[in-house]
Chain A
Amino acid sequence: MAKLNINGKTVDLKVDGDTPLLWAIREQGGLTGTKYGCGVAQCGACSVHINGEVQRSCSIQVKDVKATDKIVTIEGLSPNGSHPVQKAWLELEVAQCGYCQTGQIMAAAALLKKKPKPTDSDIDEAMTNICRCGTYQRIRAGIKLAATGGTPAKKG
């Protein structure tokens, strides 16, 4: 059993302590927006926020997460996709297959919390998640749009 605080709710999950947080979130927690990509903290599809920091949940064991640690998944980022990053992603049609995008959005949201006006090199440094569809150019534009909160000069 593990007691976890996910998206503001404390839940008791029937799970072994060595289970990666990713799988506890998906299989016991039933929240499938957090994705499995590699299991070795390389691709970032499993990105969640823990106490405001973006973390790769595939490589954190449940026993190392405290009941007081605040875990936020994509499902808890905003009600109805209203976070500025989600809105920017919608506006610029960032997603293609979309599988990595929940992780990309979590990484981008964490970046903007720390650096509300990120430079290109801030983005390069923070956004290390893999997108196999190659949406990097629109992800960059999406972060900039979310940072300004404005309307893009040019779509795409």
Chain B
Amino acid sequence: MTNTMTDTSTKTKLSRRNLLITGAAAGGGLAIGLQTGIGEAIAQRVLGTPGDEVAAWVVIKPDNSYVVRIARSEMGQGTLTGLAQLVTEELDADWSKVQWEYPTPGQNLARKRVWGDMSTGGSRGIRGSHDYVRQGGAAARQMLLQAAAAEMKVPVEELTTDKGVITHAKSKKSITYGKVASAAAKLPVPDLKTMKLKDAKDWKIAGKPLKRLDTKDKLTGKQVYGIDLKMPGLLNASIKDAPVHGAKIASVDDAKAKTMPGVKGIYRVGDGAVAVVADTWWQANKALGEIKITYEDSPNFKVDTTSIAAFQKTGLDTTENVFSANKVGDAAGAIAGAAKKVEASFSSPMAHHVTMEPMNCTAKWTADKCEVWVPTQNGEASLGACAQAAGLPAEKCEVYKLHLGGGFGRRGAQDYVTKAVLLAKQMPGVPVKLLYSREEDMRRGYFRPVGQAKLQAGLDDKGNLVGLTMRIAAQSIPAALLPQVLAQNNGNDFIMYQGLNDIGGPRAAEGGFGYTIPNLNIDCVMRNTHMTPGFWRGVNNNQNTFWLECFMDEVAKAAGKDPLVFRRELMSKDPRTKKHLDVLNAVAAKIGWETTKPAAGTFRGIAQQMGYGSYVAAAAEVSVNDRGKVKIHRLVMGTDSGHVVNPDQVEAQVVGSVAYGLSSTLLEEITIKNGAVVEENLDTYDILRMADFPKVETVTVPSGGFWGGVGEPTIMVAGPAVINAIFAATGKPVRSLPLKNVKLRA
């Protein structure tokens, strides 16, 4: 490594030559060519494939290969392949010739968001864009047909398409898309809304278990993630922000660090962070470790896990600042007059995303341009963060999206973009790659919100549920990250009651409450801490499902009823909960709930919920030995996501989500001491591994007619099904997680 800070003029020239942005003549398309030096993979993957843009989503090359533009980010969830399948289905191109590329957020802005929303979270990748990407494919096909009709001098109605070839049956003539692409690109793009889309039953490409488009390079080390980016003149940085979130630096002693090998500069970033820039990241990180930082004192330094729990407990019975989530009848009155009452309080800890690739971003700032290269779940938010930190208008900024080594919600937050740009701004013209150490990544997480819930139920003398209350007292994600969302909803955080929405209300399609209870009152209060919460795969559905579904088993037991039978009674009264019930029945049937007995010493548990527009359920078989050790023998996961675009990837998402859900149920907990995270690396923050991963069977029951997500929903039911099986095994309810802290046998 011979990088220095002085040869910036060469680098600027290199950059201008490498980054060529042109408005291509044909079809008003555009091409951005990135040459090597920034990485072969990126060069191939950023907008810039030669060929003709036919409607915004497709570029057709003369050899009849084609490129699909992918606006959402690929982070392992397979959305890239699924979206390409949807476009191809309507385009009717030859799948064996498919390629893909990411449009840049800057170009999306310049073209009035022709590629729509780029954010990738909430299991929205497919369900949030299936219509307009298919319309884009259909529009391209129509333009190609028109061009072919003119070329062949035949009526367009007499033409048919198949795998990228247009045929005129009468004259037995045919022509490829590639041959008419240039002419097609010059035609006006038809109104997408007028495109007639295929019925799902006629799909040939969509709905099929096709191979992913992004696998090969991941197996050979060629795949370039953000952390792997190379470019001429690149320097590397490691950063330490305040371990107590929000704390401000009082003093910095960097006397030793300044003299260490490779160090090019030490800079303050914002109020709480110090970064070292060096030739290599290892040098930067080593020097960072030698810097002594003190912080201004604040009450937050006295906060710990116990004090947070005590504070949140005050929310379980308060009448102040309560907001309603779902209310029917008079639940308190019904419970007061019930023959039998059940009450329990639950808690759920903070959890960390732990993307395997730590947060990173490369930034280059000059007075009239700022560029970032970043693995992000939201390219447009990255552009916004870049512009704000750069002090430049968005039109003078650009974001190049790189593959993500995991996202899980963490890479929707843009802290690492902001910090990289603030740092690069202090070294004008020099590209700086900022990489968080794992310790920094752990300390500066956007944690799954910590929270508690108190549930009460009333049963009549026949064991019927007559009333249910659920009070949630928890950290609010919007209160910390999206105050505008709170403001729009009168301070009501609807994310806090995910999956518990009124089945007749405006949020029912996202996650409607699956039980019909004559008297119901679900409400919430915020109990926030200074440690930043975030969207953790599955989000509040995780906690809400644990609390509700494990309480339902306690109530079923009090009612003297089988957990499946008890649920069925509550799910059979309203046609709007039929899909909930169908997927519950599907997992019950698969595990043999009513047809086979589990092996001696093993017990079953079941759970259901609706989230991200999909209906999910899980059934588990576990045993608990004399020392309280749990073994999960079997786990059946059911999903009804309406349509399925790639069944193999849906299966991969469901099974993978189980690992995330079970890992948190069994092992994961972020604790706070002296206001900061205790678990600073993976030797103390334990994550589920191969040996403890159970056999997972999936039951996919797509009922059609709607588009639900699949990346997240099943997470939330995996843990509760296991907990309920443990309850069946031990007779003792589990009301706090992770399970490693719970003594299951006396």
Contact of B691 among A80, A124, A134, A135 (CB under 8 A): A124
Given A23-B282, A133-B76, does the pair A97, B406 have CB atoms closer than 8 Å?
yes
Question: Distance (Å) between the CB of B448 and the closest chain A CB?
Answer: 14
Quick one: which of A90-149 are within 8 Å of B by CB?
90, 93, 95-102, 105, 123-125, 127-140
Measured CA separation A123–B657 after assembly (Å): 21
Closest to A28 in B: B1
Question: Distance (Å) between the CB of B616 and the closest chain A CB?
Answer: 16
Question: Distance (Å) between the CB of B320 and the closest chain A CB?
Answer: 40
Interface residue SS majority, chain A:
loop
Question: Distance (Å) between the CB of B334 and the closest chain A CB?
Answer: 41
Q: Collect the chain A residues with CB atoms within 8 Å of residue B406's CB.
A: 97, 99, 132-133
Q: Collect the chain B residues with CB atoms within 8 Å of residue A100's CB.
A: 356
Residue among B212, B218, B435 with the highest chain A CB neighbour number at 10 A: B218
Cβ-defined contact, B690 with A139, below 8 A: yes
Cβ-defined contact, B691 with A101, below 8 A: no
Assess whether A70 is interfacial by the CB under 8 Å rule: no
Closest to B214 in A: A98
Measured CA separation A37–B282 after assembly (Å): 14
Contact of B215 among A31, A42, A93 (CB under 8 A): A93
Cβ-defined contact, B356 with A20, below 8 A: no
Assess whether B78 is interfacial by the CB under 8 Å rule: yes
Question: Distance (Å) between the CB of A83 and the closest chain B CB?
Answer: 9
Residue among B435, B437, B660, B693 with the highest chain A CB neighbour number at 10 A: B693
Q: Collect the chain B residues with CB atoms within 8 Å of residue A37's CB.
A: 356-358, 438, 682
Interface residue SS majority, chain B:
loop
Chain A count of residues within 8 A CB distance of the other chain: 59
Cβ-defined contact, B693 with A134, below 8 A: yes
Cβ-defined contact, A96 with B693, below 8 A: no
Cβ-defined contact, B221 with A32, below 8 A: yes
Contact of A81 among B211, B220, B403 (CB under 8 A): B220
Chain B count of residues within 8 A CB distance of the other chain: 63
Q: What is the 8 Å Cβ interface bit string for chain B, positions 41-80, against chain A (1 contact, 0 not)? A: 0000000000000000000000000000000000111100
Question: Distance (Å) between the CB of B692 and the closest chain A CB?
Answer: 9
Cβ-defined contact, A136 with B221, below 8 A: no
Question: Distance (Å) between the CB of A91 and the closest chain B CB?
Answer: 9
Q: Collect the chain A residues with CB atoms within 8 Å of residue B355's CB.
A: 97, 99, 132
Measured CA separation A28–B236 after assembly (Å): 13
Q: Collect the chain A residues with CB atoms within 8 Å of residue B688's CB.
A: 134
Given A34-B221, A35-B227, A97-B404, does the pair A156, B690 have CB atoms closer than 8 Å?
no
Measured CA separation A117–B281 after assembly (Å): 40
Cβ-defined contact, B220 with A80, below 8 A: yes
Q: Collect the chain A residues with CB atoms within 8 Å of residue B220's CB.
A: 33, 74-75, 80-81, 86, 102
Cβ-defined contact, B212 with A28, below 8 A: no
Closest to B357 in A: A99
Assess whether A150 is interfacial by the CB under 8 Å rule: no
Q: What is the 8 Å Cβ interface bit string for chain B, positions 206-229, against chain A (1 contact, 0 not)? A: 000101101110111111110110
Q: What is the 8 Å Cβ interface bit string for chain B, positions 668-702, against chain A (1 contact, 0 not)? A: 00000000000001110001111101011000000
Question: Distance (Å) between the CB of B343 and the closest chain A CB?
Answer: 35
Cβ-defined contact, A33 with B230, below 8 A: no
Q: Collect the chain B residues with CB atoms within 8 Å of residue A34's CB.
A: 221
Contact of A133 among B261, B280, B656, B695 (CB under 8 A): B656
Q: Collect the chain B residues with CB atoms within 8 Å of residue A1's CB.
A: none
Contact of B437 among A31, A39, A129, A155 (CB under 8 A): A39
Quick one: which of A55-76 are within 8 Å of B by CB?
73-75
Assess whether A16 is interfacial by the CB under 8 Å rule: yes
Measured CA separation A124–B695 after assembly (Å): 13
Q: Collect the chain A residues with CB atoms within 8 Å of residue B690's CB.
A: 123-124, 127-129, 136, 139-140
Cβ-defined contact, B689 with A98, below 8 A: no
Assess whether B408 is interfacial by the CB under 8 Å rule: yes
Measured CA separation A65–B338 after assembly (Å): 73
Cβ-defined contact, A36 with B358, below 8 A: yes
Cβ-defined contact, A74 with B221, below 8 A: yes
Measured CA separation A74–B690 after assembly (Å): 21
Assess whether B330 is interfacial by the CB under 8 Å rule: no
Question: Distance (Å) between the CB of A153 and the closest chain B CB?
Answer: 15
Closest to A87 in B: B219
Q: Collect the chain A residues with CB atoms within 8 Å of residue B75's CB.
A: 97
Question: Distance (Å) between the CB of A2 and the closest chain B CB?
Answer: 13
Assess whether B523 is interfacial by the CB under 8 Å rule: no
Cβ-defined contact, A134 with B358, below 8 A: no
Q: Collect the chain B residues with CB atoms within 8 Å of residue A38's CB.
A: 438, 681-683
Cβ-defined contact, B691 with A19, below 8 A: no
Closest to B358 in A: A36
Assess whether B553 is interfacial by the CB under 8 Å rule: no
Assess whether B354 is interfacial by the CB under 8 Å rule: yes
Closest to B224 in A: A32
Assess whether B648 is interfacial by the CB under 8 Å rule: yes
Cβ-defined contact, B358 with A43, below 8 A: no
Q: Collect the chain B residues with CB atoms within 8 Å of residue A138's CB.
A: 652, 655
Q: What is the 8 Å Cβ interface bit string for chain B, positions 636-666, against chain A (1 contact, 0 not)? A: 0000000000001101100111111001000
Q: Collect the chain A residues with CB atoms within 8 Å of residue B214's CB.
A: 98
Q: What is the 8 Å Cβ interface bit string for chain B, positions 433-448, against chain A (1 contact, 0 not)? A: 0010110000000000
Closest to B355 in A: A132
Measured CA separation A52–B407 after assembly (Å): 33
Closest to A27 in B: B280
Cβ-defined contact, A125 with B682, below 8 A: no
Cβ-defined contact, A90 with B356, below 8 A: no
Cβ-defined contact, B221 with A73, below 8 A: yes
Measured CA separation A129–B404 after assembly (Å): 19
Closest to B39 in A: A32
Question: Distance (Å) between the CB of B295 and the closest chain A CB?
Answer: 24
Assess whether A45 is interfacial by the CB under 8 Å rule: yes
Assess whether A30 is interfacial by the CB under 8 Å rule: yes
Q: Collect the chain B residues with CB atoms within 8 Å of residue A90's CB.
A: 215-216, 219
Assess whether B405 is interfacial by the CB under 8 Å rule: yes
Given contacts A81-B220, A132-B406, 20 further A-B contacts (CB under 8 A): A27-B282, A33-B220, A33-B221, A37-B356, A39-B438, A40-B681, A40-B682, A80-B220, A90-B215, A96-B78, A99-B225, A99-B405, A100-B356, A101-B218, A102-B221, A130-B682, A134-B658, A140-B690, A156-B648, A156-B651
Closest 4 CB pairs of A and B: A33-B221, A134-B659, A98-B218, A97-B76
Query: Which A residues are closer than 8 A to B by beta carbons?
Result: 14, 16, 19-20, 23, 26-28, 30-40, 42-43, 45, 73-75, 80-81, 86, 89-90, 93, 95-102, 105, 123-125, 127-140, 155-156
A sample of 5 cross-chain residue pairs with beta-carbon separation below 8 angstroms, ordered by A number, consists of A38-B681, A99-B405, A130-B687, A130-B689, A134-B663
